[in-house]
């Protein structure tokens, strides 16, 4: 099995999901440079777009993602591409992952 290009960092943190229809609280399960795995009862489908507010341990303020594309949904879990809209907004993700990354080859 190949190693991921962007290793996932396992987390147990809070996430807030919002679309033009509604908003809900969820859980941030893991994070990589290209996305986040979340758990929520929020009704989403692949190809939906969300705004996310992710609480990262030891980082204040929380990470705001203006536009996140839902890539897959299965059993209350979803994988969303997290693309901070500027280099400045991407720094918290990069800094967090640089200090917390561990090898992880899980799907």
**Cα 46 to Cα 48: distance, rounded to the nearest angstrom:** 6
**Cα 76 to Cα 62: distance, rounded to the nearest angstrom:** 23
Q: In the prediction, which pLDDT does 27 show? A: 95
- Position 14 confidence tier, pLDDT thresholds 50, 70, 90: very high
pLDDT tens digits for range 33-77 = 888 899 998 888 899 999 999 998 877 788 888 888 899 999 888
CA end-to-end span of the chain, whole Å? 10
Q: In the prediction, which pLDDT does 102 show? A: 57
Q: In the prediction, which pLDDT does 81 show? A: 79
Q: Is the pLDDT reported for residue 105 higher than 70?
A: no
Q: In the prediction, which pLDDT does 106 show? A: 45
Q: Which distant-in-sequence residues (6+ apart) come within 8 Å of 43 by Cβ?
A: none
- Predicted TM-score (pTM) of the model is 0.79
> What's the whole-number mean pLDDT along residues 74-81?
86
Q: Is the pLDDT reported for residue 104 higher than 50?
A: no
What is the DSSP secondary-structure string of the chain?
A: -PPPSS--EEEEEEEEEE-SS-EEEEEEEEE-SSEEEEE-S----TT-EEEEEE--TT-SSPEEEEEEEEEEEETTEEEEEE--SSHHHHHHHHHHHHHH-------
């Amino acid at each position: 099995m190949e190693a991921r290009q962007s290793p996932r960092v396992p987390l147990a943190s809070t996430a807030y999901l919002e679309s033009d229809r509604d908003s809900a609280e969820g859980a941030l399960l893991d994070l990589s440079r290209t996305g986040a795995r979340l758990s929520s009862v929020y009704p989403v489908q692949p190809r939906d777009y969300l705004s996310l507010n992710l609480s990262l341990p030891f980082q204040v303020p929380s990470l705001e993602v203006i536009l996140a594309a839902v890539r897959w949904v299965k059993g209350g879990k979803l994988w969303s591409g997290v693309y901070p809209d500027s280099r400045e907004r991407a720094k918290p993700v990069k800094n967090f992952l640089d200090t917390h990354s561990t090898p992880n080859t899980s799907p």
